[in-house]
Amino acid sequence: MTWNYSKKTTELFMAAVQGKPGTHLGEIEDADGFGEHGSIACGDALRFTFSVDRHPTDPKKDRITDARYLTFGCTSAIAASEALCAIIEEGDFTPIEALKISNQDLVDYLGGLPQAKIHCSVMGAEALEAAIFNWAQKRGVDLAELGIDIRREEQEEGRLVCTCFGLTEPYILRKIEELELRSIPEITNAIKAGGACMSCHHQPGGLQDLLLKVWGKQSTSLSQLPVLPMAREALAQPPQEMSPFKFAKLVEHVVDEYVRPQLAKDGGDIEIVDIKDTVVYGRFLGACSDCAGSSRTLKMMVEQALKDRVDQRIRVVQV
């Protein structure tokens, strides 16, 4: 795949690598704002620092005077870093104003980015945000009080969805919404999630489910084929030494312990009809039985509970 970067992108990149005047390579010592995004293992990383002209009485009126970056990454990652600093330099922003700079602003500044490189602009926006949060902390500005979402829930480490790039459910959900991502390829292009082993695409609670959660049912992506059941089995763990009797007992136990209390909250229940090898046949009862909309979610909930606690190969068939 050859390069199809815009003229602006290649100009910024070449100016940066040649260290031309007006470029923003570097790191500010004792910076007022310090933010990082990415890692060397993931293939790109950005360290962004800025300094401010401190307002004598109100830190909220600090003005960003200088912005610098160090970037490990491809042509477009370096160009996007340069674009970020240039936008900030031209804007004469307060840090709080700078929070409004989005990845799309970087893309526009660059005159567009190839779809597969959108994550480079997202990385710039993320590092900027991290640096501004860092500034707020240093200067004692309470961003939450100003109505700014400081991602408290994400700091509590949500469930890991993309293990390859270490991305959690709350983060991915927010990005799906913020960047209006409508398909798995769009998610991967923007934030890299699902771009490596791809096992999180269609597993329960995976990217497809997160898309459904944000956009509802209409967002099904026809370009993505579902993982075949056999593939899922192949990915699962090696068989455990367990007699059919013990296996069934354990399934019952997990259903009693973890599944039934959940269903009971909505006035429902489940009956285990049969178990053949690792296929569990279940029937939903009570309030759950005639709720067509939720049956898929229920089935997945039960299946996940059994997979996690009994055997990865388990499939639940709704009777």
Partner 1 sequence: MSVIYLDNNATTQVAPEVVEAITPYLTGEYFNPSSMYDAARGPADAVSAARRRIAKLLGNARPNEILFTSCATESNNTAVFGTVAANPDRRHVITTSVEHPAIHNVAQDLERRGFEVDFLPVDSEGRLDVTDFVHALRPDTLLVSVMLANNETGVIFPVEELARITKETDPGIVFHTDATQGVGKLPIDLRGSFQNVDLLSFSGHKLHAPKGIGALYIRRGTPCRPFMLGGHQEDGRRAGTENVAFIVGLARALELAVEHHDTDEGRIVAMRDRLQRELENRIPYLQVNGGAAPRLINTLNVACHFIEGEGILYQLSSHGICASSGSACTSGSLEPSHVLRAMKIPFTAIHGSVRFSLSRYNTEAEIDRVIEVFPEIVASLRRMSPYWDAERDAPRPEALEMLEAPDMPQDHA
State the minimum distance, in angstroms, from the CB of residue 124 to partner 1: 14
- CA 200/CA 205 separation, integer angstroms: 8
Name residues whose C-beta falls within 8 Å of residue 121's C-beta, 6 or more positions apart in sequence: 80, 83, 103, 104, 106, 107, 110, 113
Select 35 or 59, whichever has its Cβ closest to partner 1.
35
Task: Give residues 223-282 in contact with partner 1 (rule: CB under 8 A).
Answer: 228, 230-231, 234
State the minimum distance, in angstroms, from the CB of residue 116 to partner 1: 8
Q: Would you give the end-to-end CA distance of the chain in angstroms?
A: 48
Selected binder of partner 1 within 31, 32, 35, 47 (CB under 8 A):
47
Is 164 labeled as catalytic in the residue annotation?
no
17 contacts partner 1 (rule: CB under 8 A) = yes
39 contacts partner 1 (rule: CB under 8 A) = yes
Q: Which residues pair with 316 in a beta bridge?
A: 280
Is 42 labeled as catalytic in the residue annotation?
yes
* CA 108 to the chain's CA centroid: 23
* Active-site position among 120, 162, 200, 288: 120
Answer for the pair 82, 23: CB distance below 8 angstroms, yes or no: yes
Selected binder of partner 1 within 73, 170, 206, 282 (CB under 8 A):
73
State the minimum distance, in angstroms, from the CB of residue 81 to partner 1: 8
Selected binder of partner 1 within 54, 65, 72, 212 (CB under 8 A):
72
Select 41 or 222, whichever has its Cβ closest to partner 1.
41
- Six token digits for residue 179: 């960047």
Selected binder of partner 1 within 95, 195, 206, 282 (CB under 8 A):
195
15 contacts partner 1 (rule: CB under 8 A) = no
State the minimum distance, in angstroms, from the CB of residue 227 to partner 1: 9
13 contacts partner 1 (rule: CB under 8 A) = yes
Task: Give residues 162-191 in contact with partner 1 (rule: CB under 8 A).
Answer: 164-166, 188
Q: What residues make contact with partner 1 under the rule CB under 8 A? A: 1, 3, 10, 13-14, 16-19, 25, 27, 36, 39-47, 69-75, 77-78, 164-166, 188, 192, 195-197, 228, 230-231, 234
Catalytic residues: 42, 120
